[in-house]
Structure 1
Amino acid sequence: MRPAASCPQDIETLVPWLLQDLPSYANRVASRGRGSLAQPLEPLGTVVVASQPDFAPLDLADRALGPGLDPRADIRQVFFTTLERQYQPTQVVSLQHFHWLFFVSTADGWRLALMYSSLGGYPRSDDSSSATGPVGLLTPPQESSQGILGQAVSLWLRDCRAGAVFPTRE
């Protein structure tokens, strides 16, 4: 049995723990939602892996970020990608999701305040002349806090605050 660890107060320590567990959390959220009438035509998919985080923030001084997110608050931004696979009747499609998360620190730990995601093909081509199909094209960013990944992040943070997650393997 693994010993419980306290949830890191430092975002640069916390996020690698989160990203290690995120695919399994996201796949559990997705499996719980399968069969719901809300998304009956969505292809079966899985999150395979999450990338390393990028903590370089964008300047938020002149941006309206959405309800409940004050740009003057102690907001921490994190960027990462996920590799996902969708299983369709005749093929397997690999997709890369680009995620921009906003975390806020509260008295009892970190919380997800807002999340934007954009979808592209995989492998992603940087050659704009080859953008004739899904590879290389990105969808516009959409607020995704209540999507599968957003729910998975919130659940993981809840479990972390409860001492139910474990450090990354070194």
Structure 2
Amino acid sequence: MRDRRAFLAVALVVATTAPARAFSADGCEQQRKQYPANWNDTSAEKTLFTCESQQGRFYVKIGATDEAGRTLMSLVPFSRTNAGVKVETGLDVLRIWLDKEQTRRLRGGKYLATVVRKENSCWIRGNIDEDVVFLMDNAHPREDDPGAAGSFYNKAPRFTVLGNGSVNCEPFK
């Protein structure tokens, strides 16, 4: 019994004095270096979808795939001119790296949910307070019973969301 208490006391001392794994002083800078130096330049990326709502408009774009098989996704705000031309604003791009499966689903317009980063984001210990959730679901399944109470009541509603607002996304033409 005495040996057990001594062992537990030593274990407690070791556990409470072991150095905690700290976030390095340049951790935020290391995270930022994973992304393009010119954050808002998406000119080399391919547009997959055009998304619009009352709260805003953006393109869903993908960039190059890195050595690890990750593909950069960007949500790029745009505005419409008086002539109806869509012009990228060049500001406030949201980005995230997608794995192969996420990229496949995005290209296919299938369900995808992820958090997208702002340029100054720093994810220390999972804190994403300043970032935005992006959920895209462009599947349009038939309702269960077309003659019943209406399509909304015959299937789970499917829609796309950026942050706290729903948007409509269509394939880019």
Q: Provide the TM-score with structure 1 as the length reference.
A: 0.32
Q: Provide the TM-score with structure 2 as the length reference.
A: 0.32
Which structure's relative contact order is higher, taking Cα pairs within 8 Å and 6+ residues apart? 1
